[in-house]
């Protein structure tokens, strides 16, 4: 009996060591740094990748109000509707099994992160499904949101999955933003865009912030609380994130739930707002996904959700539930693992998860067209 107990204890110890394979930093402590050589990483190649990131800063203005206006000048009626913030210089972290093997710039500085916010928003939907607030992402959103947002022959066909994969073709106006005016086609003019017949939900992926904000609005109503509060309680506090991150909505984006006025946040920052966050807090979020939804030994997100979120959509093999995927397609990084997935935002903000190498990479203000080349250099170090 005693021998059997000892065997069990030894086995438990082995399993526990396996569970602690990754390093998870505590709150308010300096992240543990290890030499690349500890993981048989080529330090010269890794340094070359870091130098490349520092040398290829996003070419837009550091005054992000200027960068936003210039970046979206083709959109009719485009305005800054929410908070913005002047940005810092290039910054980033490369983590191997949770340990810092390279970092550059000010990793504690809080900056706008633009469409990286979408991957956080997607996670709010995942938590809702995990907790049964949403039964299934295949459900029609109109079964949950009955205030007219999903009325009509077209919008009534839209599911949560359509919104998450950005192929909903939702038609309407929210917070003053018109769906047809957000990132319009390069051909035609306003009359063509206004009169275009909406595509069938689920058939064509269209990057569109108005429709993403409809998802944020809908999630706010099913959770019955603001999304920043859900994110803080369910994720950020539990992964030891700092108190410096913020999630904003547009100035006029107020909705009433249970007699309380709540701000409905945005899923990006191309009209201002979105998540403002440090590189280090982004890296913590990436580590949660590297470890299949667990922080240390605590399950925060189901593995089932992460699998769904990183499954290619039918209209776009490079896109899942608001995570970009390195599958064969227009955005494929040649020579790199097809299991890589990442959050991407305007101005070169990325959280990249490479499970095959046990790596998380965060970059800020890297020229977006250079990220594939940068990741090729990172991969060469391994």
Summarised one tens digit per residue, pLDDT across range 38-64 is 999 999 999 999 999 999 999 999 999
Task: Write the pLDDT tens digit of every residue in 180-236.
Answer: 888 887 777 787 777 688 899 999 999 999 999 999 999 999 999 999 999 999 999
What's the pLDDT at 75?
86
Task: Write the pLDDT tens digit of every residue in 284-333.
Answer: 999 999 999 999 999 999 999 999 999 999 999 999 999 999 998 889 99
For the chain, the average pLDDT equals: 93
Q: Is 290 helix (H, G, I), strand (E, B) or coil?
A: helix
Q: Which residue has the higher pLDDT, 88 or 77?
A: 88
Q: How far is CA 16 from CA 7, 8, 20, 59, 239, in A?
A: 14, 12, 6, 47, 19
CB atoms within 10 A of CB 268: 25
Band of residue 4 on the pLDDT scale cut at 50, 70, 90: low
The domain made up of 36-381 has a fold known as Beta-lactamase (3.40.710)
What's the pLDDT at 16?
44
Q: How far is CA 172 from CA 42, 167, 194, 354, in A?
A: 52, 15, 11, 38
DSSP string, 31-95: PPB--GGGGT--HHHHHHHHHHHHHSB-SS-SSHHHHHHHHTTTSTT----S------S-EEEEE
What's the pLDDT at 8?
46
Residue 20 scores a pLDDT above 90: no
Q: What is the mean pLDDT of residues 14-22?
A: 55
Q: How far is CA 221 from CA 47, 136, 213, 229, in A?
A: 47, 16, 12, 13
Q: Looking at 95-104, 176-185, 348-357, which range is the least confident one? A: 176-185
Q: How far is CA 340 from CA 23, 29, 357, 376, 379, in A?
A: 20, 28, 10, 12, 11
Report the length, in residues, of the chain. 382
- CB within 8 A of 65, min separation 6: which ones? 80, 84
What's the pLDDT at 283?
98
Q: How far is CA 224 from CA 146, 218, 219, in A?
A: 14, 10, 8
* Domain residue ranges in the chain: 36-381
**β-pairing, 298-299 with 341-345?**
unpaired
CA distance 250 to 273: 6
Task: Write the pLDDT tens digit of every residue in 127-171.
Answer: 999 999 999 999 999 999 999 999 999 999 999 999 999 999 999
What's the pLDDT at 204?
96
Q: Token match 């957000």: residue?
A: 182
Q: What is the mean pLDDT of residues 174-178?
A: 94
């Amino acid at each position: 009996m005693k021998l059997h107990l000892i065997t069990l204890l030894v086995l438990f110890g082995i399993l526990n060591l396996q569970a602690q394979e990754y390093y998870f930093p505590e709150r308010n402590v300096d992240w543990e740094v290890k030499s690349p050589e500890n993981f048989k990483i080529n330090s010269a190649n890794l340094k070359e990748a870091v130098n490349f990131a520092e040398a290829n800063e996003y070419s837009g203005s550091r005054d992000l109000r200027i960068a936003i206006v210039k970046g979206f000048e083709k959109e009719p009626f485009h305005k800054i509707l929410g908070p913005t913030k002047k940005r810092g210089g290039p910054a980033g972290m490369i983590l191997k099994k949770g340990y810092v093997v390279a970092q550059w710039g000010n990793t504690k500085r809080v900056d706008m992160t633009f469409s990286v916010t979408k991957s956080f928003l997607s996670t709010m939907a995942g938590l809702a499904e995990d907790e049964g607030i949403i039964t299934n992402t295949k459900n029609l959103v109109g079964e949950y949101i009955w205030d007219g947002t999903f009325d009509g022959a077209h919008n009534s066909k839209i599911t949560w999955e359509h919104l998450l994969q950005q192929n909903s073709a939702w038609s309407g106006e929210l917070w003053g933003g018109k769906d047809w005016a957000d990132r319009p086609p390069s051909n035609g003019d306003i009359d063509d865009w206004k009169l275009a017949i909406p595509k069938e939900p689920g058939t064509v992926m269209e990057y569109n912030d108005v429709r993403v904000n409809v998802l944020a609005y809908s999630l706010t109503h099913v959770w019955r609380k603001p999304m920043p509060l859900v994110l803080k309680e369910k994720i950020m506090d539990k992964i030891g994130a700092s108190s410096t991150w913020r999630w904003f909505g547009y100035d006029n984006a107020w909705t009433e739930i249970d007699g309380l006025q709540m701000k409905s946040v945005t899923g990006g920052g191309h009209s201002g707002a979105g998540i403002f966050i440090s590189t280090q807090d982004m890296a913590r979020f990436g580590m949660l996904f590297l470890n299949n939804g667990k922080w240390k030994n605590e399950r925060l997100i189901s593995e089932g959700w992460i699998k769904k979120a990183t499954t290619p959509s039918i209209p776009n093999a490079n896109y899942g539930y608001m995570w970009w995927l390195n599958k064969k397609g227009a955005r494929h990084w040649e020579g790199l693992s097809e299991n890589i997935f990442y959050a991407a935002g305007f101005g070169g903000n990325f959280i990249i998860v490479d499970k095959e190498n046990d790596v998380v990479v965060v970059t800020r203000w890297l020229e977006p067209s250079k990220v594939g080349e940068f990741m090729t250099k990172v991969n060469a170090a391994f």
